[in-house]
Chains A and B, each alone.
Chain A
């Protein structure tokens, strides 16, 4: 596959993470981010680079799925206490608001992507995907209404950073890349079932 197609895969994965909601959305986001940014990383280090985000995405998805089994222990009341879930009317629904911010993020990523260099790779397309993932992460954290949203935002940032580290190092810095994506992946796996602070208004 060509670089443009792989970069487009990264962009689409970030778009899924932007719009997904709920536990199934978190699982889908983890899988898509792993596959999408594995593809982006593949440009620099081949199959070894592809494996780092892909495996971490799959591990994260399995952690979320496993956390949903067994009497809803994942609500994490024992750790965080009981969260009062409240709703309030808003002008835009949460997904519409994220979409609007994401459109602005697209423009910013387009403008900035030409200014990033990563080793010997032609970075315009891959950098665009990574930049968009970072913006998606910031949007999800900024608009998040519970620990799960925040952790998913961190995973989007971590996957984008992981892919860019692999691009920059030619696949050599796989430990740092695994750490960058693995930390947030574990956090999302742990907090995906936490009670939200606020429900959709």
Chain B
């Protein structure tokens, strides 16, 4: 088992170099598909034997082993598949981007499977750092890109310091809120949630294809890390951490869903995605099984539709994709947000009301996106195959809302 896991951690390195070497075009796409297939085989071999829900203990001061889980396998494989979609459907993808995406599988596997928080901290810093280097290459050291570099170092530092203070909290000496702030800072930094909402700004500067690295890798890594921290932290840390994630998540969701109403058509998708990242953070804070379902469904919806919607308006498939993420019943975006409201209702009616308000704002923002998709002049679709793939993916965003339980079971092995 450890051999298969080691291979799955180390394989992306030569594959990333291979993708870089192959250059743009069909060969790059083939290489990325091969990388995804390799990861599927490696992880399937690993998780076939045993599949615990979440690896524990997380706050261990030892390095600890890597424990593969079905959830981690699902996240890594789905993220690689989402990047394949980005390469296949999106415009402006380059060999460097494909290589970076394959490379990101390494810190992702470490963060998702390591039991020791020191290794997780370095993995988080590495994931953010790789994206920073990539964005600095493509856009130069502009402010959002510099902020990502700071976030990388701060997230790593916050997790390291949180890990070493946690034993003092368990002894009753140190205040739990201090560690909760550190953990929440690291999680929101990965997820692009307030106070670390640099993603929509960065997406304008680095381009839609480059910005997909956040949607595909950083957001799910942050979400699963947050779920693990909420589940594994001692009680004095757990409660304030949940409150912080819920508060910051809802604030971020409200801000970005309002921003989606006034954003220009080219960047509206990123506002909607950032608002959904806020909802994901709130769901992570709730920490229940229903909330886990909401997290995974929203991630799945954006993995599927993001490659279509982040492009400039003018594709027929965009209308279908907007319907999928908009919150129109019973499709993907609606199912995820509804599960979140169902998870929040027993906890606080005020929270449920705020979430319903965000659902409405997201629907309104997406409706503007739908209108732009229908009114924009038709662009050359870049080949029938590409447009057909985009349409297929957009339809899949609709389908996951109709059969959410089956979708979650198939991709993540999670049974609601």
Contacts and interface: CB of A to CB of B under 8 A. Distances in A.
Interface of A: 79-84, 112, 115-118, 130, 134, 137-138, 141-142, 144, 147, 150-151, 153-154, 157-158, 160-161, 164-165, 168-169, 173, 175-176, 179-180, 183-184, 187, 197
B125 A183 contact: yes
B329 interface: no
A80 B139 CA distance: 10
A154 B137 contact: no
A157 B157 contact: yes
5 contacts: A83-B140, A115-B173, A116-B168, A141-B157, A179-B122
Nearest to A81: B137
Given A115-B168, A134-B161, A168-B61, A80 B175 contact: no
Contact of B61 (A115, A151, A176, A183): A176
Contacts of A160: 161
A168 B129 CA distance: 29
Contact of B136 (A80, A134, A161): A80
B171 A161 contact: no
Interface stretch (B146-154, B224-232, B356-364): B146-154
A142 B151 CA distance: 10
Given A116-B165, A141-B153, A165 B118 contact: yes
Contacts, number: 105
Contact of B175 (A83, A115, A118, A151): A115
Contacts of A184: 156
A176 B156 CA distance: 14
Given A115-B168, A179-B118, A81 B62 contact: no
Interface in B344-376: none
A173 B61 contact: yes
A116 B175 CA distance: 9
A5 B125 CA distance: 33
Given A83-B140, A117-B173, A173-B61, 14 more contacts: A80-B137, A81-B136, A84-B140, A115-B168, A116-B168, A117-B167, A118-B168, A138-B154, A158-B160, A160-B161, A165-B118, A165-B164, A176-B61, A183-B126
A87 to B, nearest CB: 14
Contact of A134 (B62, B118, B157): B157
A37 to B, nearest CB: 12
Nearest to A169: B61
A161 B152 CA distance: 17
Contact of A137 (B118, B157, B171): B157
A147 B168 CA distance: 33
Contacts of B129: 187
Among A130, A161, A175, residue most surrounded by chain B Cβ atoms (within 10 Å): A161
A142 B168 contact: no
A154 B153 contact: yes
Contacts of A138: 154, 157
Contact of A179 (B119, B150, B152, B175): B119
A171 B164 CA distance: 14
A150 B126 CA distance: 14
A153 B153 CA distance: 8
Nearest to B154: A141
B149 A147 contact: yes
Contacts of B174: 112, 115-117
Contacts of A180: 118, 121-122, 160
A197 B178 CA distance: 32
A176 B152 CA distance: 20
A183 B122 contact: yes
A140 to B, nearest CB: 9
A154 B161 contact: no
The list of the 7 closest CB pairs from A to B, nearest first, reads A157-B157, A161-B160, A183-B122, A164-B164, A197-B141, A115-B174, A154-B153
Nearest to B150: A141
Contacts of A117: 167-168, 171, 173-174
A44 B18 CA distance: 47
B9 interface: no
B137 A79 contact: yes
Contacts of A142: 150
B157 A154 contact: yes
Contacts of B138: 81
A191 B125 CA distance: 14
Given A81-B136, A81-B140, A179-B118, A153 B164 contact: no
A147 B165 CA distance: 27
Nearest to A182: B122
B324 to A, nearest CB: 36
Nearest to B149: A150
B171 to A, nearest CB: 5
B381 to A, nearest CB: 32
A5 to B, nearest CB: 23
Contacts of A84: 140-141
B270 to A, nearest CB: 23
A27 to B, nearest CB: 19
A144 B148 CA distance: 13
Contact of A168 (B141, B149, B164, B175): B164
Contacts of A130: 164
Contact of B63 (A115, A116, A144, A179): A179
Contact of A176 (B62, B136, B137): B62
B164 A161 contact: yes
B116 interface: yes
A175 B62 contact: yes
B130 to A, nearest CB: 11
Given A144-B150, A161-B160, A183-B122, A168 B133 contact: no
